[in-house]
Amino acid sequence: MSQPPDLREAPAHHAAPSCPPGSTTGRVVIVSASVGAGHDGAAAQLALRLSHLGFSVDRHDFLDLIPAGFGRLVSDSYRLLLTIAPSAYQRIYSATENAGRPGLMIRLMQRSSHRRLLRRLPPDTLAVVATYPLAGQVLGTLRRRGRLAVPAAVYLTDFSVHPLWVAPGADLHLAAHPVPAGQAREHGAERVVVSGPVVDPRFTPATDAQRSAARARFGLPADAPLALLVAGSWGVGEVAKVAAEIRDTGAAVPVVVCGKNGPLAARLRADGIEHAFGWVDDMPGLMHACDVLVQNAGGLTSLEAFACGLPAVSYRCIPGHGQTNAAALDEAGLAPWIEDPADLKPVLAAMVDGITRRRYREAGLALHREATGPANAIAAVAEQYAAGQYAAERSGATTTSPAIPLAPAIPAQRRHPGRATAPAPRRPVRKLGLAAAALAATAWLATGGTQLAVAYGGFDTVDPDHTGRAYLVVHPPHNGRLDDATLRTLVAEKAAVSIDAAEAAADPGEVRRLASAGLTVVNAGYGPPYATGIVTRRDSVEAGATALRAATGAAARFFLSGTDLDALDLGLAAYHHEHVVVPDARIACGSSTTPAVRPGQVVLVECGDAHPADLSATLRRLATTPHRLPRLGALTTLS
């Protein structure tokens, strides 16, 4: 499919700045973080452009500045949450989004990096730039307290701005577009420069010849419309599901990049997704070969696609920043956010060919073509500082100009005149305290922290809050089988049945009957009170899972629990591929009182030693006013 001539020949817009190399003497230090690839990718391109402007550039990984390996633990935990417990990450993201300032653990982690960062700044440093929010917070704090003399800038790599991106004390925040610039200003950023994005110069619009050559190079169909599906460097999100949905629409052939997640690429190929790749070095070429980008995080890859003239859509986005980035890109008119799966086919078809495609393609190209460039804004403050003419502005204005007016200076870093700055002495006691704090945090996460997260729907607990429905789980009576009428009622109400290990072993035929009727069988462990613990009931998850598999021949998909799970319990549930169900309301079978049930709750009807007739009576009472349950949903839709 050929591109419209007026767009296909769009001029290259990523050439290095015209300032000749070597025209500036001085150094810019960039602090990034190896959390995914976006922060480091932006840092690399800033370094390239600043080098062309004549600066020496040093780059540091913020995770390496945090002692005791705690920074790597943070990165690994983030990746684990996105992979196996996305609902937990969403809750953490939302909690920090609403907080007035970083939490205690974040502040302690930042404080531990202050001294290490200052020691890494050479004497000829003219500016420091952060491409990672926590690094920006540290720079702002040091600048505000007068411990950092040179200007500090924060480059916003996300298209939406979480409050942690805004660093009080930083001299300027650099945004790719007015939408994130406005969000930064709303969160209190004192100076925002709309500088445009920064991507690798290889990402440029392709000619028809380049497009054909790229398809041949990657072994892709010569004429079929292709949808490039990306999921970041870690390959996280509902990748397999989205790939199958794209294929089933018939609007495009899915081409999937799984990043460093090799097992995912292999699984996709085994599932019939022919064009599934792991890590791809030639992403510009692959973008040249495709017709539309389908992304789930809204990070650097989206900006690279815009530079190539490749229209993008957001679909089944990862929690937190993936969804807020999708909303911001949609608001900016750069990429539509497909929230209803029914819209996937028509939107893909419109983005593959036609007026809609051309409109979004031109919007993406214009984002880069009209940019002044963040490197120019950084160079402006660095050169003014070198000339002794720089002072930070505190007006709170938002501008598209890289020029930085003068205003009262932030206090300079304290130094002893005529004396070289020596590295601060090491403090073994401080390191011991940090190690103890890290150990305490780990212990809390394994026990109390896990329990708190589970209580609020974190980790891999089912989360019905957003559905507007209630979900019914019944632990049937121990004494006798359910009659056919009660069974039909449970099926009609989309109920699930929780079966403990003893029940499954005592009457496996009844368990098979319930499962065959279409009821979702939930692992109840050792039964009421559905407790686990470090010392007692340690094998509750394992016992229930084993008994149900023996009774039904299939694995249970859910585990019924209280809020007392620890990290090992969660690991066992994940090992058995079971989602954790924590009831919000409990109803005793045969009781004359019924608690109020709201939409978004999981309701457990606990029968225990009651007679099966008591369950029938309870269900009849729940079906009548004033105890009528909200609209009910099937538990399987939450997995």
Query: Over the stretch 182-217, which tens digit does the pLDDT of each residue have?
Result: 999 988 888 899 999 988 899 999 999 999 999 999
Q: What is the dihedral of CA 423, 425, 428, 430, to 10 degrees?
A: -80
Element (H, E) at 560: strand 558-560
How far is 286 from 268, CA to CA, in rounded Å? 18
- The least confident of 177-191, 435-449, 502-516, 590-604 is 435-449
Fold of 452-638: TIM Barrel (3.20.20)
Residue 129 structure tokens: 């730039």
Mapped onto helix, strand or coil, the DSSP state of residue 79 is helix
Question: In which band, very low, low, confident or very high, does the pLDDT at 561 lie, cut at 50, 70 and 90?
Answer: confident
How high is the pLDDT of residue 96? 54
Mapped onto helix, strand or coil, the DSSP state of residue 499 is strand
- Within 13 Å, how many C-alpha atoms sit on residue 581's CB side? 35
Q: pLDDT tens-digit profile of 68-84? A: 555 555 655 655 555 55
Q: What is the mean pLDDT of residues 38-57?
A: 89
- Within 13 Å, how many C-alpha atoms sit on residue 439's CB side? 6
Q: Is the pLDDT of residue 599 over 50?
A: yes
How high is the pLDDT of residue 563? 62
Please state, for a pLDDT cut of 90, what percent of the chain lies above it: 31
270-274, 450-454, 634-638: which has the highest mean pLDDT? 270-274
Q: pLDDT tens-digit profile of 247-277? A: 999 999 999 998 877 888 888 988 899 999 9
Question: In which band, very low, low, confident or very high, does the pLDDT at 492 lie, cut at 50, 70 and 90?
Answer: confident
How high is the pLDDT of residue 262? 80
Q: Is the pLDDT of residue 404 over 60?
A: no
Q: Is the pLDDT of residue 11 over 90?
A: no
Q: Are 500 and 544 in contact (CB under 8 A)?
A: yes
Which residue has 């993936």 as its token pair? 322
Closest C-alpha among 175, 178, 181 to residue 198: 175
Please provide the average confidence, as pLDDT, over all residues in the chain: 77
How far is 593 from 248, CA to CA, in rounded Å? 49
Of residues 159 and 225, more confidently modeled: 225
Q: Is the pLDDT of residue 281 over 80?
A: yes
Q: Is the pLDDT of residue 329 over 50?
A: yes
Residues of the chain with CATH 3.40.50.2000: 208-367
Residue 202 structure tokens: 């290889």
Of residues 37 and 43, more confidently modeled: 43
Q: What is the dihedral of CA 144, 145, 149, 151, to 10 degrees?
A: -10
How far is 104 from 16, CA to CA, in rounded Å? 42
DSSP state of 632: B
DSSP string, 408-466: SPPPPPP--TTSPPPPPPP-HHHHHHHHHHHHHHHHHHHTHHHHHHHHTT-TTB---TT
User: How would you classify the pairing of strands 496-499 and 520-523?
Assistant: parallel
CATH superfamily of 24-196+373-399: Response regulator (3.40.50.2300)
Q: Are 313 and 292 in contact (CB under 8 A)?
A: yes
Q: Are 108 and 437 in contact (CB under 8 A)?
A: yes
Fold of 208-367: Rossmann fold (3.40.50)
b/e code 15-54 from CB counts within 10 Å (16+ = b): eeeebeeeebebbbbbbbbbbbbbbbbbbbbbbbbbebbb
Residue 315 structure tokens: 């679909």
Q: Is the pLDDT of residue 18 over 70?
A: no
Q: Is the pLDDT of residue 242 over 80?
A: yes
Q: Are 285 and 228 in contact (CB under 8 A)?
A: no
Residues of the chain with CATH 3.40.50.2300: 24-196+373-399
Residues of the chain with CATH 3.20.20.370: 452-638
How far is 540 from 554, CA to CA, in rounded Å? 18
Which residue has 């996709």 as its token pair? 268
Question: In which band, very low, low, confident or very high, does the pLDDT at 172 lie, cut at 50, 70 and 90?
Answer: very high
Q: Is the pLDDT of residue 124 over 60?
A: yes
Exposed / middle / buried, residue 422 (Cβ in 10 Å: 0-12, 13-18, 19+): exposed
Taking residue 322's Cβ as centre, other Cβ atoms within 10 Å add up to: 27
User: How would you classify the pairing of strands 337-338 and 172-175?
Assistant: unpaired
Q: What is the mean pLDDT of residues 432-443?
A: 44
Q: Any idea how long the chain is?
A: 639
How far is 197 from 180, CA to CA, in rounded Å? 11
